[in-house]
Amino acid sequence: MSALLEVSGISVSFDGFRAINNLSFSIGPAELRAIIGPNGAGKTTFMDIVTGKTRPDQGTITFGERAVSLLGMSEARIAREGIGRKFQRPTVFEDQSVQDNLLLALKAARSPWCVLIWKPKASDLARVQVLAHEVGLADQLQRKSGELSHGQKQWLEIAMLLAQEPRLLLVDEPAAGMTPSEREQTTSLLVSLAKTRAVVVVEHDMDFVRRLNCRVTVLHEGAVLAEGSLDHVTRDQQVISVYLGRG
């Protein structure tokens, strides 16, 4: 199985501080992966690099069957290649209705002139309905998303990500600010999503990672410290000393 995303030997430093140090990472087209690591391990920087927000000083990143290089592409271009990103705090467009938010995310041409003449077809509206139903917002479509509760915004953002139909999903701390039952739902959603696409979850919460039941990559000081099942990495002496031992 060839990898969907292949990151090799990337480094980046900010004002002399090496945030990412010769990091390599790869994930298959239908795989769930958790990334854990202490604060400052470079988890968010790693996501920034993959999504094009930060440019690495060296290294290569390739994506897809044709192994196109993501280096030098803009954030928007990378997103169109099929990489979706879920931020830690819910970022939905609060001034707009749930339906508008979803239509905005729906996979379609993105250039200004295409968008200008774009009209939602019945199939688009049906798709929005289905997505909203999946995340329990079916009867809130006309509400302004700013009026939704924190948890509902999280779900709306997840639905927006699904509407984008990404091939790789980067999820930053999905469980933050969710009730236990919402966490349960999130876990099963992520696991089912990973059947058809690659999903990378960055998470602090060990219980949550355990329930995901997937391969785990441990980051420390900008490099991969260990990789394998959760049980495997938690037995690793280095991991215990830098991460688990501290908590």
Partner 1 sequence: MSRSFFAKHPSVLIFIAVLAIFTIMVTLASDAYGFGWLSTSYIKTLGKTLSLCLVALAMDLIWGYAGILTLGHMAFFALGGYLIGMWLMYARTEEIVVQALAHGGLPATPEEISQGIASQIFGVVGTSDLPAIWSFAYSLPLQLALALAVPGLLALVFGWLAFRSRVTGVYLSILTQAMTLALALYLYQNDSGLRGNNGLSGLQNLPGLTETSQDLVSIWFFWASALALGLGYLTLAWAVSGKFGSVIRAIRDDEARVRFLGYPVELYKLFLFTLTALIAALAGVLYYPQAGIINPAELAPIASIYLAVWVAIGGRGRLYGAVIGAAFVSLLSSVFTSGRLPNIPLGPVWLSWVDWWLVLLGAAFVAVTLFAPKGISGVFDRYQRIAPPDRKGAPLGPADGSLQKQEAQA
Note whether 88 binds partner 1 by CB under 8 A. no
Q: How far apart are CA 187 and CA 241, in angstroms?
A: 28
The one among 2, 9, 55, 110 contacting partner 1 by CB under 8 A: 110
Question: Judged by CB, which is closer to partner 1: 92, or 226?
Answer: 92
How many C-beta neighbours within 10 Å does residue 167 have?
18
The one among 58, 146, 213, 240 contacting partner 1 by CB under 8 A: 146
Note whether 207 binds partner 1 by CB under 8 A. no
Q: Which amino acid, one-letter code, is at 99?
A: Q
- Region binding partner 1 by CB under 8 A among candidate stretches 16-24, 30-38, 113-121, 222-230: 113-121
Question: Judged by CB, which is closer to partner 1: 57, or 147?
Answer: 147
Total binding residues toward partner 1, as defined by CB under 8 A: 42
Note whether 72 binds partner 1 by CB under 8 A. no
> Which residue from 171, 129, 132, 172 is spatially nearest to 155, judged by alpha carbons?
132
Which distant-in-sequence residues (6+ apart) come within 8 Å of 49 by Cβ?
7, 10, 12, 20, 55, 56, 61
DSSP one-letter code for 215: E
Q: Is 43 exposed, middle or buried (0-12, 13-18, 19+ CB in 10 A)?
A: buried
Note whether 122 binds partner 1 by CB under 8 A. no
The one among 59, 134, 182, 236 contacting partner 1 by CB under 8 A: 182
Note whether 40 binds partner 1 by CB under 8 A. no
CB of 122 to partner 1, least distance (A): 14
Q: How far apart are CA 150 and CA 49, in angstroms?
A: 28
How many C-beta neighbours within 10 Å does residue 201 have?
26
- Region binding partner 1 by CB under 8 A among candidate stretches 57-65, 110-118, 197-205, 213-221: 110-118
CB of 95 to partner 1, least distance (A): 6
Question: Judged by CB, which is closer to partner 1: 187, or 234?
Answer: 187
- Region binding partner 1 by CB under 8 A among candidate stretches 7-15, 21-29, 82-90, 190-198: 82-90
Q: How far apart are CA 87 and CA 242, in angstroms?
A: 26
- Residue 86 region, left (φ>0) first, then alpha (ψ -120 to 50), else beta? beta
DSSP run (H or E) holding 59: strand 58-63
Note whether 59 binds partner 1 by CB under 8 A. no
CB of 140 to partner 1, least distance (A): 13
Q: How far apart are CA 55 and CA 215, in angstroms?
A: 27
Binding site residues, partner 1, CB under 8 A: 51, 53, 74-77, 79-80, 84-85, 87, 91, 93-96, 100, 103-105, 110-112, 115-116, 118-120, 144, 146-147, 149-152, 160, 164, 177-180, 182
